[in-house]
Amino acid sequence: MAGAVRILMIEDDSSLVSGLRKALAAGGFAIDWEEDGAHAFDVAVPEDYGVIVIDLKLPGQGGDDVLRQLRRRGSNVPVLILTSTQLTSEKVRCLNLGADDYLTKPFEIDEFEARLRALARRKTGLLDPVLICGSLTLDTSTSCAILNGMDLPLRRRELAVLAILMTHAGKLVRKERLMSEIFGFDEPVAPNTVELYVARLRQKLMPDGPKIRTIRGLGYLMETK
């Protein structure tokens, strides 16, 4: 699993979204879904998504209109357009409207995931998939964590939490942000879930790994020394 990425999919094909959710869950993706473009703005603009995926042929309001309005409302979240057409003119039109990438259906899940990761890294400025904090290294492209030269076995969401903390090492990461990036809207989350994952990470990073500090009432900070 690579770093946790929160995705908004604006897509009317429920079976496609369901399949992608299952296939990409192991990669740390939390996918929120809107099937109606007209209602997607209420979700997309205020929320901090890593990538927004828009199907070009939505019922009612088309994907190009959704994209146009997103950009007009000031959203700078990377957008990946999905479409069944292979016309170059259509691709150029979407890119000119503000899309960042374009993928033709049907597609391979591996390619879809790779494009999502590339767009998410572009947003955060994280161009190098390898994160380093002291004696700890995390390769977000292979989901491989190494501590003091030894493989560090971590579960999917432990890796997701670790990636976020390492990306922002030395800075406060609010608990609410961890929850929103790791879990989708429709996933039940217990009140102490984040604390549980952080506690597990602390235990596995002891005694020589980087320390994770709790900033009471706010969130967590991974020390850089």
Are residues 120 and 145 both part of a single domain?
Answer: no
Are residues 120 and 48 both part of a single domain?
Answer: yes
Low-confidence ranges of the chain (pLDDT < 70): 1-4, 41-47, 123-129, 141, 183-189
Cα dist from 100 to 29, 122, 175, 222, whole Å: 19, 10, 30, 32
If one counts the domains in the chain, the total is 2
CB of 71 within 8 A of CB of 47? no
Q: How far is residue 75's CA from residue 191's CA, in Å, rounded to a whole number? A: 30
Give tens-digit pLDDT for 4-53: 678 899 998 999 998 998 888 777 788 888 887 777 766 666 567 889 99
The model's pTM: 0.60
Are residues 31 and 141 both part of a single domain?
Answer: no
Domain final residue, candidates 103, 124, 145: 124
